[in-house]
Structure 1
Amino acid sequence: MHTSTRAYDRQDERLRGRRPVEAPADIEPISPPAKRRMLIIVNPYAATVSDRLRHLVVYALQGRFEVDAVDTEACGHATEICREAAHEGYDLVVAFGGDGTVNEAANGLLGSSTPLCCLPGGSANVFGRLLGIPGELVDATEHLLSLADDWRPRKVDLGVVNGRCFTFASGLGLDASVVQRVDAKPHLKARLGPYYFTWVATSTYLRRYLRSPSRLRVHAGGAALEGVTAIVQNGPRFTYFQDRPIDVAEGASLDSGALAGAVLHRATLLGMPFLGWRALSRRARVVDHRQVTGLERFTELTVRSADARPLPLQVDGDYVGEVSEARYSIMPRALNVVA
């Protein structure tokens, strides 16, 4: 038995002509859930950040969050902004920039309940990848949108060196000298990415570390080691060469409660190419190189100059200056994140 089309039309007309049903006076209408407040901290000088991308990201995220955005204006500004954001009760802070911006944000949110997330805007975006955030901006933005329905903050560890926190890695010696020279030309860093790092690493080694490198002494757990470079990691990755992870120290994760490290004893002309090959290999391990000693699961470590020359220091891929001593420790579960 079939109902005629005319009957359906008459029924539709009746429905459209009805007055809306009013809710009883004693029942309050159901309002949509309030959006979480998000503050996006934008580093306008980061490698892949532009005004156009900034506006597109804010527009997209406004669909699920109440979004404010602010640009950083100087070194350390992101730390100040994050402290204010935590005080003002934001539900989430998003660092849109490179790992240096993320580092400043983490230092500003330290000790607060406000979680941190990040969007890739730098050349490596190591911490974001360790949290599981995609390396492409569009994918990362979609990932952040999904967090509105899958809100699960968690705590991660932070490393500390001379009172400054780091999220994934810090280094002294050759490593930090390379970072210093790369940071001096940000336009080349943004344009050439990991290839510029490779060129600078090679030229820095040949100029400064082939004949008379500054030497350092590492003290950890009663042992003393000498070398030309020391790496300390809070996470399993030291950096990335495009999409390929570079693993140096082994045994650290963001929630292990311990750090991991590696010491390069000598940087010989014959040994360095093999060390570079191990760093890029998917099978060989850096800590198996005969000039490298790995240090696993420690909570404190001290690095001092062994020849009275100051040591260059980098934190999360940003050069911070020269020191005669670096004291490392771990702050377990110190930072709230959402990812």
Structure 2
Amino acid sequence: MKVLLVVNPSASSVTARTRIVIQKALSADHRLEVAATSRRGHATRLAQSAANDGIDVVVVLGGDGTLNEAANGLAGSETALAAVPGGSTNVFARTLGLPDDPVEATGALLDAIEAGSLRRVGLGCANDRYFLFHAGVGFDAAVVEQVERKGGLLKRFAGHPLFVAAAVDTWARHYDRSSPAFRVSSRSVHEAPGDDGDDLGEAAEVEGLMAVVLNTDPYTYLGTRGLSLAPATRLDTPLSVVTLRSLAPQRLLPVLAAAAGLGRRLADDPNVDIRDDVAEARLVANRPVPWQVDGDHLGDAEELHFRHVPDALDLVVPLGSPAFS
């Protein structure tokens, strides 16, 4: 089998020793090529070239952002994607059930490849950008923006405490919480598209300050605990859209507790609008709002269109993965 290993040498958990061990493991039974990313968007171009050259599997050693870029390069092709955790949070790799240690994860992937454990999975798409696990708009993306501004060595070594500090700082100083930032409408897979391309069915619009469109769950991890916003969402289901109406402390803290599995169910919280089985959604901003996909900040937008793209990507799935319903 022809395998390309794409390495992000700047990712938080990538070391020279780890890279060498993984290269030796992958090359033992497969024809291996190795490429290192050097700039934003590089993984997308490397993955596109791999698909065009008939590579069977692209293995990504990096964080969620590098994985997202590779997925965008492979979507619609017959080349499979495999994730090796190399970032600070590694949401997608952990969602698949891979070990946190990149060398152990490589072993699990080699077992999966030998067993032929590949699945064709759906992706989310925000405008023209695919995402593996979620896209975030508003407060969520503003936090990601602050993390990227303070990133570099601090992100490499501070990890989750940096995200928590950035969230508090963003809430206090870097995001307008005074009025709704946008409104969201959606159409479920059980509703037929309207004759008008802008008609997303009967679901009423909801206003909010933060929205997350999920292709799988959990939303993210805090330490070892997953924060779950849409428990029914898996890689073999349509999207879910979760909107927070208010970020006031007395309304936000119960949401965080419910997402962590503490307190009442998130679906019972009046501050949260949850829509499952979503085929497409449209977000119209009252003012330019930040947005991100898979933890990669993409700037500000005034309108975003989300859609579920079934059977978009071949994925190497570890044996016994919990990412499917």
TM-score of the superposed pair, with normalisation by structure 1: 0.85
Separation in 2, partners of 1:224, 1:297: 16
Note the C-alpha offset of 1:215.
1.1
SS in 1 for 2:218: coil
User: Which one of 255, 268, 280 corresponds to residue 260 of structure 2?
Assistant: 280
1:137-158 CA distances to partner (integer Å, 9 max, x unpaired)? Answer: 1210211232342123210110
User: Which one of 313, 320, 324 corresponds to residue 335 of structure 1?
Assistant: 313
Paired letter, 2:54: G
Gaps in structure 1 of 5+ consecutive residues: 1-35
Query: Would the aligned equivalents of 1:210 and 1:267 in 2 still touch at CA under 8 Å?
Result: no
User: Which one of 108, 113, 116 corresponds to residue 143 of structure 1?
Assistant: 108
Query: Would the aligned equivalents of 1:301 and 1:327 in 2 still touch at CA under 8 Å?
Result: yes
Paired letter, 1:160: C
Structure 2 CA distance for partners of 1:72 and 1:214, relative to 1, 3 Å: farther
Note the C-alpha offset of 1:319.
0.5
Query: Would the aligned equivalents of 1:166 and 1:315 in 2 still touch at CA under 8 Å?
Result: yes
1:39-94 CA distances to partner (integer Å, 9 max, x unpaired)? Answer: 00001111111222111210122222221111001111101001110111111110
Structure 2 CA distance for partners of 1:282 and 1:69, relative to 1, 3 Å: farther
Separation in 2, partners of 1:283, 1:265: 19
SS in 1 for 2:14: coil
Paired letter, 2:181: R
Residue 247, structure 1, aligned to residue 237, structure 2: no
Note the C-alpha offset of 1:183.
1.2
User: Which one of 68, 90, 93 corresponds to residue 125 of structure 1?
Assistant: 90
Residue 304, structure 1, aligned to residue 271, structure 2: no
Query: Would the aligned equivalents of 1:251 and 1:297 in 2 still touch at CA under 8 Å?
Result: no
SS in 2 for 1:270: helix
Separation in 2, partners of 1:273, 1:144: 38
SS in 2 for 1:181: helix
Separation in 1, partners of 2:88, 2:98: 15
Note the C-alpha offset of 1:327.
0.3
Paired letter, 1:94: V
Note the C-alpha offset of 1:129.
2.2
Moved more, 51-60 or 81-90: 51-60
Separation in 2, partners of 1:276, 1:246: 8
Aligned residues: 301
Match of 2:270 in 1: 290
User: Which one of 168, 191, 208 corresponds to residue 157 of structure 2?
Assistant: 191
Moved more, 162-171 or 203-212: 203-212
SS in 2 for 1:310: strand
Separation in 1, partners of 2:82, 2:64: 12
Query: Would the aligned equivalents of 2:257 and 2:263 in 1 still touch at CA under 8 Å?
Result: no
Match of 1:17 in 2: none
Match of 1:200 in 2: 166
Paired letter, 2:293: V
CA RMSD, Structure 1 to Structure 2 (Å): 1.6
Moved more, 197-206 or 140-149: 140-149
SS in 1 for 2:67: helix
User: Which one of 121, 126, 138 corresponds to residue 156 of structure 1?
Assistant: 121
Note the C-alpha offset of 1:301.
0.3
TM-score of the superposed pair, with normalisation by structure 2: 0.88
1:86-235 alignment, distance < 5 Å: 86-186=51-151, 187-209=153-175, 212=178, 215-221=181-187, 222=202, 223-235=204-216
Separation in 2, partners of 1:199, 1:268: 18
Note the C-alpha offset of 1:326.
0.7
Instruction: Determine what percentage of the aligned residue pairs are the same residue.
Output: 38
Higher relative contact order (CA 8 A, sep 6+): 2
Paired letter, 2:48: R
